[in-house]
A and B are shown apart, each in its own frame.
Chain A
Amino acid sequence: MNTIWALTGVVIKELYRRKDFYVLFVLTALITVATGMVNFFHDPKIVRYVKDVCLLLIWISALLIAIVTAARQIPAERESRTIFPLLAKPVTRWQVILGKFFGCWLATGIALIVFYLFFAVVSGSREQHWPWLACLQALWLQWAMLAIVIALSLLGSIVSAAPSSTTTICFIVVAGILMLGGHLNTVAIHEAQPLQTILYTIYFLIPHLEWFDIRDRVIYDWGLVSGVDCVLATLYAAAYTALLLLLTWLGFRRQSLNT
């Protein structure tokens, strides 16, 4: 475990020493605060739109941070050749993958905490009540979902060596799942064979990231998700993350690294 935490620390250190990370962070924070201050037409219900925009920005920023960070980890190690002195130590490739995963996941978690803190303050100052529990639940579920996204991006970075193409593909896949994943079964009903089977197969194979999206509950104050559902969602995310990390390791363990 010591090796995994040591590698996790390196990922986090790299992130907070990279300037581009702050650009996205500051941009989201600024837009969140600015949107929170706007009061269109003096409509008291406008706060819902503000909350909607803020949460959407948080989702996009968190996805960007997660995908961009995870997709470049292993290709950057190979490109800068830092992987060689590292693997010359008693480090397994499985430890490298886990270290990278936890580093990206923790860094994204830290970013999410700051984003949601902003959101809670903006939302609370406008509505005069502080939605701490709803925010905490939304944060937790989003973070669990990001674990799947990070594992998916790491897998993508093993398959395709160029971080830019991995980032683009992962972003399209994740956006596709979030927007269409939940509707694939409905679409499949109306299709003829073999398309119906293909769509059903995709529906049951893909991780349903949209299940982790409880933004509407936070925006419209629909109350909290039950504890059991939260635990089930967490276990679902853990299972998919483990599967994707296993596939990443299978791809990485036999790869020849020639200096």
Chain B
Amino acid sequence: MSVILKTDQLRVEFTSREFRRSTKVALNRLDLEVKVGEVFGFLGPNGAGKTTTINVLLGFVPPTSGSASLFGIDVRQPIARQRIGYLPEMTYYYKFLTAEELLRLYARIFGLNRAEADRRIDQLLRLVELESARKRLIKSYSKGMQQRVGLAQALINNPDLLILDEPTSGLDPLGRMKVREIIQRLKSEGKTVFFSSHELGEVETVCDRVAIINQGELKAEGRVGDLVAQHQASLEQVFLNIIGYSPSPT
């Protein structure tokens, strides 16, 4: 299987702008490889470097050293993002646009012609069950509806790789199930999904492989079944062991 997403010795340092300048290492020598057709779970506690990794992959943050590529193209080239879809953790969309207008904007950016964009927008609004609200401004949507618009925009270009940053955070159980269904459906269509999550149960259900990072460093990587068998514990226990959590004595 060919590699679709790769990071090689990736290191990111942030320098604070405060009076006493200090440098924080957000990622340290991170090596990741995601292959075509995989659903890859990216796990780690808060502040582990999951979002920073995604920010590097999307070109928001330049790596201090090392490299990252999508489809074999350096992530700093905008063309590397032609075949990806991205769903941020929170809903960051133009609230003064309607769902249809937002999707049309992104369709234009991806170079879809009018007819193709119309067909795709109809299809996606049906998929995320927002057909009846397509002409309403996004600011009038509930959080769940906004998250569904997010999912639709991430799929507008029929991406080969989907990057999801905590896709189910803040969603109700129905919303979570819907996202899981969509991920499964994309997997059955041969798409690759890279997603960060705290929801270990969800990861266990949908992921082929997982990577666990802590304090910017890769701690474990492999198939979910292999990790569980190797540690002879549930994924949650494996995760807690790897990040060095020990329960406080009662």
Contacts and interface: CB of A to CB of B under 8 A. Distances in A.
Given A6-B105, A9-B105, A88-B81, A257 B110 contact: no
Contact of A257 (B60, B89, B111): B60
A258 B55 contact: yes
A257 B61 contact: yes
Interface stretch (B32-40, B91-99, B185-193): B91-99
A82 B92 contact: yes
Interface in B47-99: 51-52, 54-55, 58-62, 78-79, 81-82, 84, 86, 88-90, 92-97
A81 B92 CA distance: 5
Contacts of A2: 108-109, 111
A91 B81 CA distance: 8
Interface in A1-26: 2-3, 5-6, 9-10, 13-14, 17-18
Nearest to B153: A85
Contacts, number: 85
B79 to A, nearest CB: 6
Given A13-B101, A90-B82, A258-B61, A85 B14 contact: no
B90 to A, nearest CB: 7
B106 interface: yes
A82 B94 contact: yes
B149 to A, nearest CB: 10
A81 B94 CA distance: 9
Nearest to A99: B109
Interface residues of A, number: 27
Contacts of B93: 82, 85
A217 to B, nearest CB: 40
B94 A90 contact: no
A84 interface: yes
Nearest to B80: A90
Contacts of B14: 256, 258
A193 interface: no
Interface residues of B, number: 37
B52 A258 contact: yes
Contacts of A87: 58-60
Interface in A134-177: none
Contacts of A3: 108-109
A79 to B, nearest CB: 10
A30 B157 CA distance: 47
A131 to B, nearest CB: 37
Contacts of B55: 257-259
Contacts of B163: 88
Contacts of A90: 78-79, 81-82, 109-110
A161 B110 CA distance: 29
A6 B82 contact: no
B60 A89 contact: no
Contact of B81 (A6, A82, A89): A89
Interface string A207-231: 0000000000000000000000000
A3 B78 CA distance: 12
B84 A88 contact: yes
B110 A84 contact: no
Contacts of A254: 62
19 contacts: A2-B109, A6-B108, A9-B105, A13-B97, A18-B96, A80-B92, A81-B88, A83-B92, A85-B92, A85-B153, A88-B58, A88-B84, A89-B81, A90-B78, A90-B110, A258-B60, A259-B54, A259-B55, A259-B60
Interface of A: 2-3, 5-6, 9-10, 13-14, 17-18, 80-85, 87-92, 254, 256-259
Which 5 residue pairs of A and B lie closest in terms of their CB atoms, listed nearest first? A88-B86, A81-B92, A6-B108, A257-B60, A90-B78
Given A83-B92, A85-B86, 16 more contacts: A3-B109, A10-B94, A10-B97, A10-B105, A13-B97, A13-B101, A14-B96, A84-B86, A85-B88, A87-B58, A88-B58, A88-B60, A90-B82, A90-B110, A257-B55, A258-B55
